Amino acid sequence: DTGVSQDPRHKITKRGQNVTFRCDPISEHNRLYWYRQTLGQGPEFLTYFQNEAQLEKSRLLSDRFSAERPKGSFSTLEIQRTEQGDSAMYLCASSLEGGGGYGYTFGSGTRLTVV
């Protein structure tokens, strides 16, 4: 595969509904990250996985948010009981693990609009 894929690209949902987003990382990458970005701002970290283990979650990630990465491959991000403040671009990225750091490869994002 040639990049990180995110699905869907756009999602419009009514307040109170649940939504789920999917991310397919680069297959060789063992790290997967979720970020949220609002208009005019930089991406804010939500959570990351190393293989199937979720190693860190931001305090931004309320109990309405849950992320999984079964079998260390694709990942899903679910938002329950959506609120208007959840409207944002949700970005997924993957990278190789390494002490010296590697650049991230980002997907095109899922734009969520809560009405």
57 is a site residue for other proteins (CB under 8 A): no
Tokens, residue 79:
């938002």
Closest CA to 91 of 112, 62, 71: 112
62 is a site residue for other proteins (CB under 8 A): no
Q: At residue 88, what are phi and psi to the nearest 5 degrees?
A: -175, 175
43 is a site residue for other proteins (CB under 8 A): yes
Q: Residue for token digits 């063992």?
A: 30
The residue among 55 and 115 lying less far from other proteins, judged by its C-beta, is 55
Contact residue for other proteins among 56, 68, 78, 83 (CB under 8 A): 56
74 is a site residue for other proteins (CB under 8 A): no
